[in-house]
Amino acid sequence: MTFFCRFSLVCLTIVLLAASVACAQEPQAADRDIFVPTTISPEAQQALKEIIKAKPYTLVFPPPGDLDAWRKMHAAAEQAGKKKNDKAVEANHVTVIEAKLGGVPVLDIRPMNWKDNGKVLVYTHGGAYTMFSARSTLVNSAAMSRATGLRVISVDYTTAPFAKWNEIQEQVISVFKALLKKGYAMKDIALYGDSAGGGLAISTVLNLRYRGMGMPAAVVLWSPWVDISNTGDTAHTLEAADPVLSYVPSLQNSALAYSDGLHLTDPRVSPLYADFSKGFSPALIVDSTKCIFLSTSVRLFQKLEAAGQEAKLDIYEGMWHVFQPVPLPESEVSLGKSAAFINRYLR
């Protein structure tokens, strides 16, 4: 599968999503003059140029109460991403099985020549808590299954505004309960998430800890959205430099839909503000210098370290929000580091 075939489909998804919410009647973010550094690989430079042309940061998300507009966005995303994700399954040589765990839909993704070693990786997908599904994010989970050699359980949780923060978090807990009932121990389960899925992964670890269920062996977070209130330095200093994300007019509406009236800095929806002093899984936090979430990743790392928890911060020069699905040298490095971190703790 060529880079342009795979990446153009990502851009197509963005275009269709933008068209589907034209009815929202909200202003788009202003055009950005985004710098393309020569310090990244030629493949990454070309990818960044393609992203800049697509202008995903202009995407307008509907108000939380406009359920019809959200349904249209979901339908457009799933349809546009189908071929991309079918090809990701083929390229990564994985098998995908639809299943349910604890009553929650999941995709059970298994790498080529997989043999059950009693270890499993749970994936909570991104999409601002309001977009995408386990199916439309197979490009991420299939790549991680290939890189780690592990069975991946991708949780197909109900997105906001059709479910609120507590309902979404409870669905992930239900999957963990089902895995424990099947005989897995927490030491045999790792967890990873990207973007909002990264925030959800952190909330999951905290919820498991609160309930006395133990904690996963390790957690990997790609560009995690851990503070939905849009605070922190790079939320503002990188606002015009991020080629992918905008808080207004997109992420803000997602934050409101997910939080269901809670203050946006409430640790139940912005886990950056949670108490980590009572324990947390060893964490690898991955981010990039063009992502508005960079500051919150730094703050998360500092909070975990100050609380005496094991954490590692891995920052990529010139990359953008959740760049790993795009086939680049930088992506393979990041996937390799993520896989090594997970397998280190699942021994």
Note the pLDDT of residue 27: 60
Note the pLDDT of residue 80: 81
70 within domain boundaries: no
Q: Which domain holds residue 325?
A: 94-243+253-345
Question: Residues near 76 by Cβ (< 8 Å), separated by ≥ 6?
Answer: 13, 16, 17, 19, 20
Phi and psi angles of residue 123, each rounded to the nearest 5 degrees, phi first: -120, 130
* CATH code for the domain of 150: 3.40.50.1820
286 within domain boundaries: yes
Q: What is this structure's pTM?
A: 0.93
Note the pLDDT of residue 20: 42
3 within domain boundaries: no
104 within domain boundaries: yes
128 within domain boundaries: yes
Note the pLDDT of residue 43: 98
Question: Residues near 48 by Cβ (< 8 Å), separated by ≥ 6?
Answer: 34, 36, 40, 243, 318, 320
Per-residue pLDDT of the chain (347 residues; tens, 9 = 90+): 344 344 443 543 444 344 444 444 456 677 899 999 999 999 999 999 999 999 999 989 999 999 999 999 999 888 887 778 888 999 999 999 999 999 999 999 999 999 999 999 999 999 999 999 999 999 999 999 999 999 999 999 999 999 999 999 999 999 999 999 999 999 999 999 999 999 999 999 999 999 999 999 999 999 999 999 999 999 999 999 999 999 998 999 999 999 999 999 999 999 999 999 999 999 999 999 999 999 999 999 999 999 999 999 999 999 999 999 999 999 999 999 999 999 999 98
CA 196/CA 162 separation, integer angstroms: 16
**315-345 as b/e: b if 16+ CB within 10 A:** ebebbbbbbbbbbbebbeebbebbbebbbeb
Note the pLDDT of residue 26: 57
Query: Please, what is the Cα angle at 189 between 188 and 191, to 5 degrees?
Result: 155
248 within domain boundaries: no
Phi and psi angles of residue 149, each rounded to the nearest 5 degrees, phi first: 75, 15
140 within domain boundaries: yes
Query: Are 225 and 195 in contact, with CB atoms under 8 Å apart?
Result: yes
Per the structure, how many domains does the chain have?
1
287 within domain boundaries: yes
Note the pLDDT of residue 347: 84
